[in-house]
């Protein structure tokens, strides 16, 4: 190549290297950055559950013993419409009103069972035990059973379901 085409600043090889890396990085970015968004976008979507759920007339619940109530809500996740089931325990006590506990163990979210003979909640996963009022007796959970905010409307019991 004749010298009049030569740049004093840069030889052909360095020029090609720089251009190739620049174009390569650009193309990687054009696919790579959207790919990150593509992968994480469903994880960041607002999926807040915030509604009052009716548990029926308060008189239906016997005094002094936790009674299970199950309900399900329809949810859309991606392309799937599924129904998600929830379980709560309603404890009604004379003079103390009503408390509604979530059946989700505060350790790792297994579902608790009420064992009437023992007067305890037992978690099937790691044998955590809670008393009737949701206080931890033994096992790994970091806190007592979660409670729902409740309200009474014309004798009907409602709980406030909040998620997300």
List interacting residues with other proteins (CB under 8 A). Answer: 31, 34-35, 37-39, 41-42, 78-80
Nearest to residue 87, comparing CAs of 155, 148, 139? 148
Q: 5 vs 39, which CB is nearer to other proteins? A: 39
Nearer to other proteins, 78 or 116 (CB): 78
Q: How far is the CB of 9 from other proteins (least distance, A)?
A: 23
The CB-of-6 to other proteins minimum distance in angstroms stands at: 19
Q: Which is nearer to other proteins, 78 or 142 (CB)?
A: 78
Residue 142, token pair as written in the block:
């970091």
Q: Which residue matches tokens 């990687």?
A: 28
As measured in angstroms, the least distance from the Cβ of 5 to other proteins is 16
Q: How far is the CB of 22 from other proteins (least distance, A)?
A: 16
Euclidean distance between CA atoms 42 and 74, whole angstroms = 18
CA dihedral over 66, 139, 147, 43, signed as positive or negative: negative
- The least CB distance from residue 26 to other proteins, in Å, is 13
126 CB neighbour count, 10 Å cutoff: 12
Q: Which is nearer to other proteins, 38 or 52 (CB)?
A: 38
- Listing DSSP states for 90-151 in one string gives EEEETTTEEEEEESB-TTT-PBPEEETTTTEEE-TTT--EEETTS-EEESS-SSPPPEEEEE
Q: Which residue, 35 or 115, has its beta carbon nearer to other proteins?
A: 35
């Amino acid at each position: 190549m004749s010298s009049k085409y030569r740049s004093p600043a840069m030889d052909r090889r360095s020029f090609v290297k720089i251009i190739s890396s620049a174009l390569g990085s650009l193309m990687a970015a054009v696919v790579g950055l959207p790919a990150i968004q593509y992968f994480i976008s469903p994880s960041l979507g607002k999926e807040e559950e915030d509604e009052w759920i009716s548990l029926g007339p308060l008189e239906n619940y016997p005094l002094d013993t936790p009674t299970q109530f199950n309900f399900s809500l329809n949810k859309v996740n991606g392309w799937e419409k599924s129904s998600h089931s929830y379980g709560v325990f309603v404890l009604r006590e004379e003079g103390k009103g009503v408390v509604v506990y979530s059946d989700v163990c505060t350790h790792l979210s297994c579902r608790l069972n009420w064992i009437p003979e023992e007067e305890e909640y037992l978690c099937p996963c790691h044998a955590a035990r809670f008393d009737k009022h949701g206080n931890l007796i033994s096992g790994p959970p970091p806190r007592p059973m979660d409670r729902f905010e409740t309200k009474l409307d014309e004798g009907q019991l409602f709980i406030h379901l909040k998620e997300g």
